[in-house]
Amino acid sequence: MKHAQAQAGKVCLDAMGKARGDYELISGTWREYEPAWHTGQLIQGLLASYRINGNEDALKDAVRAGDWWVGLQFPKNHLLAGYLNAVHGAGVGQLINTTTITDGTPGLFDLSEVTGNPRYAAVASSAGRWILDHLYLPEHRLSYNIVDPITGEIWKDKSPHAQHQDGDITINQVARPNAEGYLWKDMYLFTGKKRYKKAFLDLCEGLLQSQSENGFWMQFEPNDSKTGKIHARFNTWNAEALVEAYTLTQDKRYLLAATKTAEGLARLQQKSGVIYYLSYTDGNHDRRSPCGSGTSFAGLLWLRLLQLGNDTFTKNIKRALDFTLKNQFASDHPDKNLAGGYFEIRQREKSNGKMQLIYRDIATAFGLRFLSAVHQNAFP
């Protein structure tokens, strides 16, 4: 794990502490992609492994990344004061994707806990408060997702996502649960304010109502009910939030819904242990997209359920662990951008005919979390 830890802190993070994003193997270059989200994932992975081996370099790297992350906060007197300038990049462009924020916050709360410095959790909480005050739709238990950082416009009747460009825009296309990262739950524990607990549990009630029969949430992107596309991580985030709701309330409805997602993920897992980035409800998979982060994240969910007394997924955990360990890039790999990292590759063909082969740093972030949890729980 130490080689992956070094890769996460010294390669996947740049000199400022920002995640470098996706590495394009053909050109040998990095491409920034959802930097706040990727950085948050790397912080969480670094801290998970730090708790296991006490590597001070990992902690220093996590602090460096946290300092960059909180620097994204809009200042006082800005029209978005208190929110976070967490632009998405790539196809979404220079727009703030709320999921990028909520999904990247657990590492910031972890960082405050480990360092004793409340600033990281306070900035994450400020962003979460802005979401609750300006984006949340309690009648739908959803939050608007896209905000323009220049004009302050909240996108309420349009979407930047390609799958939403045909037909009339619906509320489920401009707003999402955004339960990923269970931000309001962490804010409740950090501040003690019951408002955040209520908001978090309301979100989870919405998840119970909108969960599809297959255990996923097909009506929200990046899933796609029209094509049957199932995203490798999105559903696991929702299930993770439901487990957090269960630990907060002991309400077994949340645990049963998370277990339903875990069962769906088990159906997607291949004999090799891998879960592909793109799977489909008809049983097909895009085999150009072996997803190490999705595999490790499913392993984390299965392991969490095992801790709670459900041993149904022991074989799935073992398969995910075998895949993660067998496919780690060698520590002496000649390409230092890959050395020690955990495996995740996506192959794409651009409209100009140029091929792309992409390694994603989040495979290492989630791999560190998964292996740390395996070690901590003495599995197998």
pLDDT value for 14: 97
pLDDT value for 152: 95
Q: Which residues of the chain have pLDDT under 70?
A: 162-166
Residue 146 one-letter amino acid: I
pLDDT value for 187: 98
Q: What is the pTM of this model?
A: 0.96
pLDDT value for 330: 97
pLDDT value for 162: 65
- 36: closest CA among 93, 97, 89, 104? 104
Q: How do residues 89-105 score in pLDDT, each as one tens digit?
A: 787 788 999 999 999 99
Q: Residue 142: what are its φ and ψ, rounded to 5°?
A: -135, 165
pLDDT value for 165: 67
The CB-based long-range contact list for 206-211 (8 Å cut-off, 24+ gap) reads 206/140, 206/141, 206/142, 206/177, 207/177, 207/179, 207/238, 207/241, 207/242, 207/257, 208/242, 208/253, 208/254, 208/257, 209/141, 210/177, 211/238, 211/257, 211/260, 211/261
Q: How do residues 287-332 score in pLDDT, each as one tens digit?
A: 999 999 999 999 999 999 999 999 999 999 999 999 999 999 999 9
What CA dihedral angle connects 206, 211, 216 and 218, to 10 degrees?
Answer: -90
Strands 345-349 and 278-280: unpaired
Q: Residue 76: what are its φ and ψ, rounded to 5°?
A: -60, 150
**Residue listed under structure tokens 């993660």:** 324
Strand partners, 347: 357
